[in-house]
A and B are shown apart, each in its own frame.
Chain A
Amino acid sequence: MMRHTGTGQGRAAARTVEVRSWLLSLLLIPLLLPPAARAHSASDAYLNLIVHSHGADGQIAVEGQWDIALRDLDFVLRLDEDGDGRLTWGEVRSRQDAIERYAYASLHFDGGPGDACVIKPGRLMIDEHADGAYAVLSFNVLCARAPRKLALDYRMFFPIDPSHRGILVEHDGADIATAVLSPENTRIDLIR
């Protein structure tokens, strides 16, 4: 710390400089710590889809299971109602509607021109992942006609966290494929 000497006006001026200097420090310091301080777990959600193809007419049915971190949902929906930092099943369950509204507003299935598809929500469950507890949303995709093509559009959390990633895992018969959904990659053709 620098010491300032002097009297009267001079000292007052020096004190101002000193305070301003520390105000600057206050703004700077949080950013000074080495980047090694990071911990790595950014936000991921897991979207598991099972695609069933039926018969020769090529009809398709899709079942989904969507795992979304409770931490992420709490950040946008403030699920921890009593604010004690411990999110209970009661707090999650009582906000099921809000969770589903928020989630399904950011996931759309498109069966091509004239074939809008809707999501029919199923039950809400919980799953433990390596980085914490996740809400598990189960759903079926219902289309006006059986689609021959199907694309999905995913924008979960992107407006508030562009580093969020949707990890899509598609199960089609014995095949498993994955894709990463990001703000740069919001649309995936499930069936071309």
Chain B
Amino acid sequence: MTTVTQFMRSFLAAALVVLGASAAVAEPAVGANLASPAAAFKAPYLPSSDAEVLQDVPSATDPAVAAMKALRVQADAAPQSLPTAIRLADAYVDYGRQIGDAHYAGYAEAVIAPWLDASPPPASALVTKATILQYRHQFSDSRALLRRTIAIEPRNAQAWLTLATLDMVQGDYEAAAHDCVQVTGSAGLELGLACSANLRSCTGQARQSLTLLGQVEGAGEKVPLSYQAWIQGLLAETAERLGDWPLAENHYRRALRLVPRDNFLLVAYADFLLDRGRPAEVLPLLADHTQSDTAFLRLALAHSALHSGETARDTWIMAARFEALTLRGSDFFGREQARFALELEHDPQTALEIAQRNWHAQREPWDTRLLLEAALAAKQPEAATEALKFLQKSRLEDPVIEPLARELQAQLERNR
């Protein structure tokens, strides 16, 4: 047992009041309401009408939900079928990623769990588990499983592709280049091209990346929507590296026309809009996606940029969500937490500490950017030394990051 934090004490206060009076509670415990903005949360209550909508849940009429349900029936009927289990688990992972809901990674984990007990476990189950771990930012464990997979099946395309993603996320571009070669060898030229285009957009070759992606983009309607959307998303990000905002926006919009509720794309486009000083457009974009923490943070940032009265409430809710994650002993969510501390709590010192810790786990452009922003805000340029070296070595192009790096470099030279 650990002592509960001060924050959680206030969070639990309402529950405690109701509990203490539980035998006598006949009416909603209005007295337990916390002061605003915490008043967003009522104490436990009895809804006044059967028609009151309490919660949005996946709709049975959603084709993806129906497909998962059908796969579940198949899997339950044939528990010995590995391919069925993998299809169901992958469907859960994909759906959860799309709508930004981590529950589905847990459902997938349960589906493949029996197969991981086998000795040796089948490669497909190892890769799916590695993907789940990667999704949860448990990078070392994920990498270990991918290595085991490749030891069993040296040409397992999915393992190489996942490893390439992992190496890129962690900024190990030499390893990623090797992985992309293996992807080409095991999955074919198209995926190999997409893999290296993705890599080049982070290594000073964004222009070439655009050209490569243009070749892959031509595959058109013959390929799955999620693949087309992924390529459009890569094109958008690469255009951002080059500071070509209209091109980036065009690709974000095309991607979202293909997969309108994709959490990753919605959040990336929201970041684009926030960067371009267009926070008002973020509100309608993410209005239906408050369940996702990453989307919710962007809504809060948009409200803040608009000096909206919602900001205090958003900040409170976001803090409560992070607190819930801490309570459950969950893995680390540095990127969002650093940005939250920097931009909503205006606490550059905390932001810098989180950003530094995060940067040791993952080094995508946004992770580096947050570290530089936090180091500047906290007036501690030396905290960015390692990141500046990394930028020089990788030659990342980014019109937002470059001026930050120049400013920090200048400060470091002045201090020398």
Judged by a CB distance under 8 angstroms, whether B136 is at the interface is: yes
Are A72 and B103 CB-contacts (below 8 A) given A25-B224, A29-B230? Answer: yes
**What A residues does B230 contact at CB under 8 A?**
29, 32-33
The answer to whether A70 touches B59 (Cβ under 8 A) is no
Interface 1/0 per residue, A125-156 and B, CB below 8 Å:
11111111100101000000000000000000
Q: How large is the interface on B (under 10, 10 to 19, 20 to 34, 35 or more residues)?
A: 35 or more
Main secondary structure of the interface of A (DSSP, over half): mixed
Report the minimal beta-carbon distance from B2 to chain A, rounded to whole angstroms: 6
The answer to whether B226 touches A176 (Cβ under 8 A) is no
**What B residues does A74 contact at CB under 8 A?**
55, 57-58
The answer to whether A84 touches B61 (Cβ under 8 A) is yes
Judged by a CB distance under 8 angstroms, whether B222 is at the interface is: yes
Are A125 and B44 CB-contacts (below 8 A) given A22-B223, A34-B264? Answer: yes
Report the minimal beta-carbon distance from B254 to chain A, rounded to whole angstroms: 16
Judged by a CB distance under 8 angstroms, whether A54 is at the interface is: no
Judged by a CB distance under 8 angstroms, whether A12 is at the interface is: no
The answer to whether A43 touches B15 (Cβ under 8 A) is no
**What A residues does B223 contact at CB under 8 A?**
22, 25-26
The answer to whether A35 touches B320 (Cβ under 8 A) is no
Are A162 and B106 CB-contacts (below 8 A) given A22-B222, A90-B51, A178-B2? Answer: yes
The answer to whether B264 touches A87 (Cβ under 8 A) is no
Which residue of the partner chain B has the closest CB to A84?
Answer: B59
Interface 1/0 per residue, A12-26 and B, CB below 8 Å:
000000000110111
**What B residues does A2 contact at CB under 8 A?**
188-190
Judged by a CB distance under 8 angstroms, whether A48 is at the interface is: yes
Report the minimal beta-carbon distance from B82 to chain A, rounded to whole angstroms: 14
Judged by a CB distance under 8 angstroms, whether A100 is at the interface is: no
In A169-192, the 8 Å CB interface with B consists of 169-171, 176-180, 182, 188
A interface residues, tally (CB under 8 Å): 80
Report the minimal beta-carbon distance from B322 to chain A, rounded to whole angstroms: 8
**In the bound complex, how far is the Cα of B267 from the Cα of A38, in angstroms?**
10
Interface 1/0 per residue, B97-131 and A, CB below 8 Å:
10011110111011001000000000000011001
The answer to whether A31 touches B158 (Cβ under 8 A) is yes
Judged by a CB distance under 8 angstroms, whether B84 is at the interface is: no
Report the minimal beta-carbon distance from A149 to chain B, rounded to whole angstroms: 16
Report the minimal beta-carbon distance from A145 to chain B, rounded to whole angstroms: 22
**What B residues does A50 contact at CB under 8 A?**
16, 19-20
**In the bound complex, how far is the Cα of B174 from the Cα of A51, in angstroms?**
57
**In the bound complex, how far is the Cα of B230 from the Cα of A26, in angstroms?**
12
**What B residues does A28 contact at CB under 8 A?**
157-158, 161, 187, 191
**In the bound complex, how far is the Cα of B364 from the Cα of A99, in angstroms?**
43
Which residue of the partner chain B has the closest CB to A38?
Answer: B135
Interface 1/0 per residue, A51-80 and B, CB below 8 Å:
000000000000111010011101100011
The answer to whether A41 touches B4 (Cβ under 8 A) is no
Report the minimal beta-carbon distance from A74 to chain B, rounded to whole angstroms: 4
In B294-345, the 8 Å CB interface with A consists of 294-295, 317-318, 320-321, 324-325, 327-330, 333, 335-336
In B13-50, the 8 Å CB interface with A consists of 14-16, 18-20, 22, 25, 40-47, 49-50
The answer to whether A131 touches B107 (Cβ under 8 A) is no
Report the minimal beta-carbon distance from B94 to chain A, rounded to whole angstroms: 4
**In the bound complex, how far is the Cα of B58 from the Cα of A179, in angstroms?**
31
Interface 1/0 per residue, B257-271 and A, CB below 8 Å:
000001110010000
**In the bound complex, how far is the Cα of B97 from the Cα of A38, in angstroms?**
6
Judged by a CB distance under 8 angstroms, whether B227 is at the interface is: yes
Which of A29, A75, A136 is packed against the most chain B CB atoms within 10 Å?
A29
Interface 1/0 per residue, B156-189 and A, CB below 8 Å:
0110011001101100000000000000000111
**What A residues does B47 contact at CB under 8 A?**
89, 126
The answer to whether B224 touches A29 (Cβ under 8 A) is yes
**What A residues does B4 contact at CB under 8 A?**
169, 176-178
Are A177 and B2 CB-contacts (below 8 A) given A39-B102, A136-B44? Answer: yes
**What A residues does B318 contact at CB under 8 A?**
130
Report the minimal beta-carbon distance from A8 to chain B, rounded to whole angstroms: 23
**In the bound complex, how far is the Cα of B109 from the Cα of A163, in angstroms?**
8
Q: Apart from A65-B22, A132-B291, what 7 extra A-B contacts exist at CB < 8 Å?
A: A27-B90, A36-B264, A40-B321, A167-B328, A169-B15, A177-B3, A177-B4
23 contacts between A and B (CB under 8 A): A22-B222, A24-B187, A24-B188, A25-B188, A25-B223, A26-B227, A27-B158, A29-B230, A31-B158, A34-B364, A37-B97, A40-B294, A42-B102, A42-B105, A42-B328, A65-B15, A67-B15, A89-B52, A123-B25, A126-B47, A160-B110, A163-B105, A169-B8
